[in-house]
Structure 1
């Protein structure tokens, strides 16, 4: 109770600081707590020390709070109903009354009056001022307006905002009517700010995101406000403004050349953009509503660009950096066609930007790469380290998206972001992970298999790819998320149209690992120690081992099966089947240029198949024709020569190249034939290696059996000595003789089996004296 009361007091203090009215419920709680504390005080003697101490603390808190609100609490206790009515007095009805006073009145005569219809009724106390419109009755161009009445109505609406029994829709309607009768720039700015704030109010418990109608209306009003500020440079909306009277009209003067109204355009842009993203997260990505909502990105992008132009003119650097980052986030991960479509939808005002003058008429000829570069260079100069980091990551992502791998890689390494990103916020870490993945995909598209695998290894090693990319919640085996944690994870996820396809990502990683691991495993030639030391992808090794243990292997059913069977085909030298299995994976259609990617994969499989073949059969051949190898794997002769030369240079293949004869001289087989069977330099074949492993395991089994036998015999001796008791020395000697005889294989009961222990002893002796025993003895 004490904790909840502290929260209540803090909320009341916050309302006082913001000049808001404390609700009547606060005084109800305060009055009831006073009575409860007084009642509990009578039973204090029956309480333990802990409860008594807590009661004393609560009593002091209640008394302190009562002193701070003594007058209001006394009024509530005197007449609670009257007190509640007095709090709810400034309502929308008062705003409507003030609004009626501010409206232009109908004139019945005068030389400037145009009476269209004597029996026309007033429209809620308002008249449309203008000449020549049927049903309008008022002064054309000279309609009297009361600015004081507008400000009173605006104040009444603002005071009623957020109170109990306040109709939000009625407030919005009132503010729209106020905007219709506002004549001066200052009045319009004040009313628009209040109207946007009212439109942004909604209950998150009822709606997970802002209603579309309210969002669209708020965005339109914000565009109107920005256009008004661009047209009237002597008026400004800023967070920090000098104190001024809300009920007085303000105009530029010598003392106040720029009229500053308290507000924040940047905060409104951020709120609308966040609400747009939140709605995309909440909608079903496979429904038509998601596509319809995604079309609104054009209008919110235009609003962001207009705000950028405004802040460039007012030279508000902090706010300018924020909206520039918002603009980058809308276009950094999109293809050029989408970026050009967004640029073409901008108003003509966007051409006034000094950072990047967007011309909608020439959007089809613009370069999105240059646009991203200009925006990011602006943020590289900011003092905000978070914005600099996010701009750098977005810039790298965009370069990787356009297959400029080396520029993206150099920027990522030179920025040293991998050393500091662990201290960044969650959103920046997600952007870093997405950038790393996109760089890996870029390397794969360019045929840089080793670079692609090493880049993606960092993400796949965690086995939490979906969570790291903010594309879903990965189910953990031994942990359970609370509802609050699940809600936070869902809010942290990216909209569906920004997702990187996880199936494509996994296939790229597995195919890259296959092209690196299969030649490496062939080079190790079954040497377990070498296989353990030289591991590129443990994930791929584990999957391949599991596939090799399967007794029955059917046709591939999923993408992993395709890659595993392709790896087996590559190990046996069947590169054509490997190519067919890899090309049969359907996710390649998600690549920008599917045909080029498939051609690259076929070429890489041929090259790695050649390397695997040489590693596997190098100890069998003495020479190999380059033309034979070229025809075997359908590679150009120059490519085959280059691959063999590189293997010789790297000392992975003990051979030499005879370019005159066009053959490869394999030194391992030549040395084996020249040195004979007794040479120490002879290469050990795979069969010989398996035989040696069998001998080692047999020797180990023999040692373990002998140790086990000795342990059992020693336990039997101890039991025999305990049972022997007071028996004579002759019997003791006889038993000792029998035990010694049994140890040497004699057996106590004769025959082929012998006595207890006799068969074991005899078996050991026979095994050690046999041919296999002599083989495994050390």
Structure 2
């Protein structure tokens, strides 16, 4: 057996590493002092090529210094021998474990040996022969082991697979050293001992990295004789291990970046440096602002190199193989140099860290505003990546377009214009963009449409769905209700959203809620009410919009569930004001529900509420004995509802317009004017429903004067009520009056009407049951506005037609004949589970 496999004593094993670290630290501290003032101390890891010059120095030294120098040299030799004995001891243990097929302990011991060897190699030592012997022994055990992995237990089988992958990688990496070792093990061991022989010399202070101009690879000599590529490979090998000092690794990579000369070298170092910076903050909640800014600047530098040097490409390809120790330049047989890496992963992580930092900051402090200013340079980085991917990486192009769209779809036009102008300014100084998306900076709507249409044409269904929701949200934000509604209905997302992931469901809820606010601002009260009704029925508005954690009364979330739910929360600047949302919903419910209550005479029908949240609040207000001045938004709306029931439309209008939350809505004056007009019209409807039984005729001019409406508007309201058979009357245009007809239903007619209502309810229930049962058949794909996506087969068309037939009367129809059923959300957010 070779001398490297001798087992040392226990005491020597325990003290070897501590003595070694003490001697090395002593050497490093003394190397910083001038050589002519203080005698040299410690061991040097340099080779023994300059022994003659050392002998000349010894002749000039005093005799006491010579004895001291020889003593220190013996200590260094003893330290090296103990280290070799420790390695040999571990190798002997590995040999014993291999004989017993104990792959679990073999893997642990091999990891221990690898850590010790890598630590010494980082100091400039060559690969020890004992490590090569262990690799050879384990590789031979794989080839000679006749036992099948199925006979091993679970732990041994996992360890066997793990160590097999490690050995295969190491055999490929150290192929040259293994070949030399197999040819003559003794000569290889002698060369290793000669290379690691301790030598003392006076070392003058020198910088960390010294340029090596004569190097063939154009890189720099770093450390004690090792090349930068070798150091970079060693750092990459040690990444992820517990014993790795990430801070020290970052400092070494920063030094490597300073001395890197070629584009290939800078790309390699930047890829490693950015990855290491992301690894540092694994235990904290989010990356610090300074570290984030540093990563963002380094990522910009990497993108600038890749955009200007088109012959270098970073690709996500694990099967790509090349020599990591050598410089690579474009050649005739390889015009494009491909490097392993992932730019899109860096962009995703940088964006996620930015969002996470906003989630952990106080939104009402100045720190949040200061942090929000970093979104502009982040958006510039995303646009730079957009330029790069359009030229070299089509697979990541859709993901970066989605990132860009997510940063601008929910912002006003003025903010988007500022972001795009900053990108244009940053590109004008260095890069001339050629892709079409930057040619649309002057028109935000055209830019959003270009990005969405690009995503509609991708093969990723998730990105298509999210692009559709972003497009709908943008239309709703800019008061284009019918366009956004038609786009949402044509995509059939309300029928299939319950199968999507949680974040997509949150985006759907936000788009639908914004669509409801758009309808309210546009004066479409019924559409706004039907759109917002589903989300307010759940009583989990904040949770469904990812603006708060739902507090359950009898059940508590596990720490994992609560952590996942908090990670999904939207930053504060993207929140939709829930108080404004509630005010819009309750006012819409008031304008829809109060006339309906006035038109019903039967108590049983009165209990059938259209809006249960509004009816519950109204009943609670009616039970109060004493009603004080309104304080909250709900108090204003409830008192306004009671005033509208009593025919006091002016009081109702004053109470609604005095709500302070309307100041947060764009075009506040227009919204208040619209609400006043709608209150007058609904007040007229409520009056006719309540008192039509007491009149035979009513003058249109008198009705218009009572509610401060033009005669034309009053006539229009009465005509719609007659056409919809809400009142039994006729219009006498010559006399300008409304003639009421008293129709008293017989007992049989009343029973027939009740039966018809119950049949209608049964039909609705059957329709819902049919939708749930056949949702898989009808939701096989999502058709898109440009005609892409799967088409319905014959069975699905029959199911759709039968469903439309069973839905019966009453649905609203939008543009292009599209059905807009009551409750746009349908299954809005109901599938979200904590």
Match of 1:566 in 2: 640
2:433 is matched with which residue: 352, 365, 376?
A: 352
Shift of 1:85: 4.3
- The answer to whether structure 1 residue 446 and structure 2 residue 530 are counterparts is no
- The answer to whether structure 1 residue 319 and structure 2 residue 393 are counterparts is no
The separation in 1 between residues aligned to 2:519 and 2:124, in whole angstroms, is 66
Match of 1:747 in 2: none
Structure 1 pair 442–64 and aligned structure 2 pair: CA distance change class (3 A): farther
Match of 1:67 in 2: 102
Match of 1:590 in 2: 664
The separation in 2 between residues aligned to 1:379 and 1:274, in whole angstroms, is 21
| Residue correspondences, number | 571
- The answer to whether structure 1 residue 501 and structure 2 residue 577 are counterparts is yes
Q: Could you tell me whether the CA contact under 8 Å between 1:219 and 1:300 is conserved in 2?
A: yes
Q: Could you tell me whether the CA contact under 8 Å between 2:209 and 2:221 is conserved in 1?
A: no
Q: Could you tell me whether the CA contact under 8 Å between 1:563 and 1:581 is conserved in 2?
A: yes
Q: Could you tell me whether the CA contact under 8 Å between 2:210 and 2:221 is conserved in 1?
A: no
What does 1:429-508 align with in structure 2 at a 5 Å threshold? 429-508=505-584
What does 1:273-422 align with in structure 2 at a 5 Å threshold? 273-314=351-392, 316-346=393-423, 347-348=426-427, 352-358=433-439, 363=441, 366-422=442-498
Q: Could you tell me whether the CA contact under 8 Å between 1:66 and 1:73 is conserved in 2?
A: no
Match of 1:272 in 2: 350
Q: Could you tell me whether the CA contact under 8 Å between 1:186 and 1:250 is conserved in 2?
A: yes
1:426 is matched with which residue: 493, 496, 502?
A: 502
CA RMSD of superposed structures (Å) = 3.1
Which deviates further from its counterpart, 384-393 or 215-224?
215-224
Q: Could you tell me whether the CA contact under 8 Å between 1:277 and 1:495 is conserved in 2?
A: yes
The separation in 1 between residues aligned to 2:354 and 2:472, in whole angstroms, is 25
Segments of 5+ residues of structure 1 without an aligned counterpart are: 1-23, 35-61, 96-119, 130-137, 673-678, 685-778
Shift of 1:159: 3.0
Deviations 1:563-599 (A, max 9, x none): 1100000001111111111111111111111110110
The separation in 2 between residues aligned to 1:418 and 1:396, in whole angstroms, is 13
2:265 is matched with which residue: 187, 200, 214?
A: 187
The separation in 2 between residues aligned to 1:301 and 1:257, in whole angstroms, is 32
Shift of 1:475: 1.6
What does 1:686-697 align with in structure 2 at a 5 Å threshold? none
The separation in 1 between residues aligned to 2:376 and 2:516, in whole angstroms, is 30
The separation in 1 between residues aligned to 2:352 and 2:107, in whole angstroms, is 40
Segments of 5+ residues of structure 2 without an aligned counterpart are: 1-85, 127-203, 751-834
Q: Could you tell me whether the CA contact under 8 Å between 1:355 and 1:375 is conserved in 2?
A: no
Match of 1:530 in 2: 605
The separation in 2 between residues aligned to 1:537 and 1:587, in whole angstroms, is 22
Shift of 1:242: 2.5
Structure 1 pair 631–220 and aligned structure 2 pair: CA distance change class (3 A): same
1:219 is matched with which residue: 286, 293, 296?
A: 296
The separation in 2 between residues aligned to 1:226 and 1:192, in whole angstroms, is 10
Structure 1 pair 66–502 and aligned structure 2 pair: CA distance change class (3 A): farther
Structure 1 pair 565–65 and aligned structure 2 pair: CA distance change class (3 A): farther
Structure 1 pair 245–663 and aligned structure 2 pair: CA distance change class (3 A): same
Deviations 1:412-434 (A, max 9, x none): 11100111111111100100011
The separation in 1 between residues aligned to 2:413 and 2:109, in whole angstroms, is 68
The separation in 1 between residues aligned to 2:493 and 2:301, in whole angstroms, is 40
Larger relative contact order, structure 1 or 2 (CA cutoff 8 Å, min sep 6): 2
Q: Could you tell me whether the CA contact under 8 Å between 2:219 and 2:261 is conserved in 1?
A: no
Match of 1:551 in 2: 625
Task: Find the residue that maps to 2:693 and give its secondary structure.
Answer: coil
The separation in 2 between residues aligned to 1:380 and 1:65, in whole angstroms, is 59
Q: Could you tell me whether the CA contact under 8 Å between 1:92 and 1:157 is conserved in 2?
A: no
Shift of 1:63: 9.9
The separation in 2 between residues aligned to 1:83 and 1:367, in whole angstroms, is 59
- The answer to whether structure 1 residue 646 and structure 2 residue 720 are counterparts is yes
The separation in 2 between residues aligned to 1:64 and 1:637, in whole angstroms, is 103
2:341 is matched with which residue: 263, 271, 287?
A: 263
The structure that has the greater radius of gyration is: 1
Q: Could you tell me whether the CA contact under 8 Å between 1:433 and 1:469 is conserved in 2?
A: yes
Task: Find the residue that maps to 2:730 and give its secondary structure.
Answer: strand
Match of 2:687 in 1: 613
Deviations 1:610-647 (A, max 9, x none): 00011111111222111111111111110001111111
Structure 1 pair 627–481 and aligned structure 2 pair: CA distance change class (3 A): same
Structure 1 pair 337–199 and aligned structure 2 pair: CA distance change class (3 A): same
Q: Could you tell me whether the CA contact under 8 Å between 2:703 and 2:714 is conserved in 1?
A: yes
The separation in 2 between residues aligned to 1:143 and 1:162, in whole angstroms, is 29
- The answer to whether structure 1 residue 209 and structure 2 residue 294 are counterparts is no
- The answer to whether structure 1 residue 89 and structure 2 residue 166 are counterparts is no
Q: Could you tell me whether the CA contact under 8 Å between 2:591 and 2:682 is conserved in 1?
A: yes
Shift of 1:204: 3.6
